[in-house]
Amino acid sequence: MIRSFPRSTSCGRDGFRAQHLIDCFSCAAVAISDDLIASITRVVNLFLEGRCSLALGEYIASALLTPLVKPGGGVHPIAVGTVWRRLVSKVVACLVGPSLSTYFAGLQFEVGVSGGGEAILHALNRLIEARGSDVGLSMLLVDFQNAFNLVDRATMLQEVRRRCPVLSRWVEFCYSGPTRLYYGEHCLWSCQGVQQGDPLGPLLFALVLHPLVCKIRDSFDLTMQAWYLDDGTIVGDTLEVEKVLDLIMADGPRFGLHLNVAKTEVFWPIEDPQSRLPGVFPPSIARPLRGVSVLGGAVSTCPIFGSEIVARRVTKTIELMDLVARIEDPQCELLLLRACTGISKLYFSLRTCSPRVFGSVHLPFDAALHSSLERIVTASGPGFGDWQWRLATFPFHLGGLAVYAAGDVLHYAFLASRLQSADLQATLLRPSGIVDAGPTFDDALRVFSETTGSAFIRDPSEIAAPKLMKKLADIYFVTVAATSESVFSLTPRQLALWKSQRGTYSSDWLRAVPISGLGQTMNGRTYRSVLGYRLGVPLFTVSRPCPACSRVFVDDVYGDHAVYCNGTVGVKHRHNLVRDILFDICYRSGISAGKEVDIGLVDDHGGSLRPADLLLYSWDRGRDVCVDLTGSSPLTRTGMTDFAPGRVVADAAQRKCTKYGDFCAAAGYGFIPFSFSSLGELGSDAVALLKRIQKLSVSQDAGDRVAAYIFTRLSFAVAKGVGAQIVSRLPTNFM
């Protein structure tokens, strides 16, 4: 539970962070981890059993207040509580979550439900697609005023005692009296509502709301009722829906739930004339004509309405991408573009809107993404052509940068969401009797099947839902990749470059988070050089002598000579970078190792052999093992003949074994060839060594996150060495 805290999570007023606890289970401190866990468990149980004085509640349950301005006006008061409060709340949420799933089932789709918001949107669109022409139905979208902050605490405590007695003492400790909220130098008192930021907040709010939700269900015959915390959607006969509204307005205030009539909406594709009768709905209630926005997604039979919502989100995403460009650090820009400022901003729209709704709306995003990648790779210079764009937008396992274009994702995102939430949709649509998937889904499925030639998708029961989006993405991109060779008329070098980057570990360096202390940073010129080399961007425009070895590389515009040159800042430089990182990995993993150790080996002629790059002490059943690093480049003129990915590293490892293996064995040492290529390929012995180091690191430091990034660090060192080789030979004004 402690490790479930996000990295760099904020601290409370006391300055104590979750990372402090996590660090106590790492490295040398792991020796006391069992005692520490036992102590933390006793503290948690002390709170759960109500044995802590209530007078301390105002301090333990205190929080730092961060006001976030809402786009439409108003403020979200986000409270960041102490680590102890958040830890105990996380524990009890896990305890009571499963027992409440039946209580909330079919009505509340946020608490304990995965993908509930998408299911509501899909169900609503299926409903209006099937029955949008039925006159007499209306959809009510409920909006409460400042819902979380006005919840009645007495009602909340009463519901907690009724439904979650195991939770009651802890909730009473936190909410039975006023608690301190710190805003700058000021101290405020929290006396009402549920703190936004409390891990238990959504559950507590849902417990307060649910009696009202159940009363609506039991009192009226509705076509659909769905809640996502305080966002309610009611569909049914117009006069029944009007009675539901009256009930909410009458009973809601008892729970601290006050209807915001100005933001409450009534909609149906063909408006029921009864909804306009005097006294049916308040005159100030909103009545949109083309569609409504539910949970940020479009519910409408009008494609233009959905396109407008998507277009606004695309515009905001492009603006964010432009802001990221101001960083002027291609390594950070690419990481952010892939993680949170690119396609990730459109995933919800792509998953909840059918491809036909997008139409051409995605084109501005793809154009902006192309411009961003061109700036990151070539500083907006020449060389980033159609093939580079196609390759960059492939996933890692297909040799790309995993920066996805909307034009690709819309082929499978909507289908994945519809299929993943099929069971929840069935629950929502059961009162309406709708079971057909509908023409929108059928059309999207047909296009996907025609594009990929895949027929198995027609039976959704054969697909494992949790990883469905990844599965459909793999099907789509593998199909596109299969046709790319002919579509782009790839040269032998382009094919060899692409195949080499499709290895298991070749793209790990792209996942590296910039951390200077771990050597995981490059300057902009170096990073661009590596990206350009891997994407096949021409780096050298004229034939000129190599500044390191004076050799003239003719027709080598891509920098292959720079990568395998033995001159200054050459292969040896890259070799030493990788060796130093591997040594540091061993050190941080608690493995005893020496660097550049002379073990006194001599060859058949009595000459001294060079020192071992690394010597792992007592590595093989008490025997010391020599690790010899060797780097190679697959993109040489001779290497293009009958090219096969991984062959170069395998051959290099075999040569090392032949050269040094017997000498080491005769001296009583083991021998491991650590072979890697300039494109990040690793030999089998190198992979086995890193996996064993990874395993040892995890066993000594349970759950150590550092172990997960061992391959990433090695891969980044290789890329950094390649970048240094290229930059040292580039014209000074390039990139």
pTM (2 d.p.): 0.90
DSSP labels, 390-432? HHHTS-GGGTS-----HHHHTTTHHHHHHHHTHHHHHHHHGGG
Tokens 């291609």 sit at which residue? 330
Q: In whole angstroms, how far apart are CA 445 and each of 240, 408, 454?
A: 36, 15, 10
Tokens 């899909």 sit at which residue? 122
Tokens 């405020």 sit at which residue? 188
Q: Where are the beta strands (DSSP E) in 419-572?
A: 544-545, 552-553
Whole-number Å distance between alpha carbons of 299 and 128:
8
Is the CA virtual torsion 27, 335, 325, 718 positive or negative? positive
| Angle at 30 (CA atoms; ends 26, 31), nearest 5 degrees | 160
Tokens 């991984």 sit at which residue? 646
Q: In whole angstroms, how far apart are CA 581 and each of 688, 690, 711?
A: 17, 12, 11
If residue 614 lies in a helix (H) or strand (E), which one and from where to where?
strand 612-620
Query: Would you state the pLDDT for residue 433?
Result: 94
Q: 620 phi and psi, to 5 degrees?
A: -115, 85
Q: Residue 16 has which token pair?
A: 């104590």
For residue 4, count other CB atoms closer than 10 A to its CB. Answer: 10
Contact status, residue 394 vs residue 477, Cβ threshold 8 Å: yes
DSSP labels, 94-117? HHHHHHHHHHHTTTB-STT-TTHH
Whole-number Å distance between alpha carbons of 407 and 385:
17
Q: 630 phi and psi, to 5 degrees?
A: -145, 125
Whole-number Å distance between alpha carbons of 403 and 338:
5
Q: Which residues pair with 673 in a beta bridge?
A: 628
| Angle at 69 (CA atoms; ends 64, 72), nearest 5 degrees | 150
Query: Would you state the pLDDT for residue 474?
Result: 93
For residue 290, count other CB atoms closer than 10 A to its CB. Answer: 14
599, burial (CB in 10 Å: exposed 0-12, middle 13-18, buried 19+): middle
Kindly state the DSSP code that residue 718 receives in the 8-state scheme.
Answer: H
Query: Would you state the pLDDT for residue 702?
Result: 44
Query: Would you state the pLDDT for residue 459?
Result: 55
Q: Residue 300 has which token pair?
A: 């409408």
Q: What is the mean pLDDT of the chain?
A: 89
Contact status, residue 399 vs residue 498, Cβ threshold 8 Å: yes
Kindly state the DSSP code that residue 189 receives in the 8-state scheme.
Answer: E
* pLDDT < 50 regions, the chain: 702-703
Whole-number Å distance between alpha carbons of 67 and 50:
31
Largest CA distance in the chain: 108
CA 405 to chain centre: 16
Q: 187 phi and psi, to 5 degrees?
A: -120, 120
First to last CA, the chain: 47
For residue 528, count other CB atoms closer than 10 A to its CB. Answer: 27
Per residue, what are the HEC states of 357-389?
Answer: HHCCCHHHHHHHHHHHHHHHHHCCCCCCCHHHH
Query: Would you state the pLDDT for residue 190?
Result: 86
Size of the chain in residues = 735
Contact status, residue 355 vs residue 444, Cβ threshold 8 Å: yes
Whole-number Å distance between alpha carbons of 483 and 293:
39
Contact status, residue 183 vs residue 65, Cβ threshold 8 Å: yes
> Hey, is 594 helix, strand or coil?
strand
Q: Strands 670-677, 623-632: parallel, antiparallel or unpaired by DSSP?
A: parallel
| Angle at 116 (CA atoms; ends 225, 319), nearest 5 degrees | 115
Q: 26 phi and psi, to 5 degrees?
A: -120, 155
Does residue 285 come out as left (phi exceeding 0), alpha (psi in the -120 to 50 range) or beta?
beta
Contact status, residue 153 vs residue 175, Cβ threshold 8 Å: yes
Contact status, residue 387 vs residue 536, Cβ threshold 8 Å: yes
DSSP labels, 27-85? GGGGGGHHHHHHHHHHHHHHHHTT-S-GGGHHHHT-EEEEEEE-TTSSEEEEEEE-HHH
Closest among 347, 318, 484, 341 to 412, alpha carbons compared: 347
Kindly state the DSSP code that residue 712 receives in the 8-state scheme.
Answer: H
Query: Would you state the pLDDT for residue 731?
Result: 76
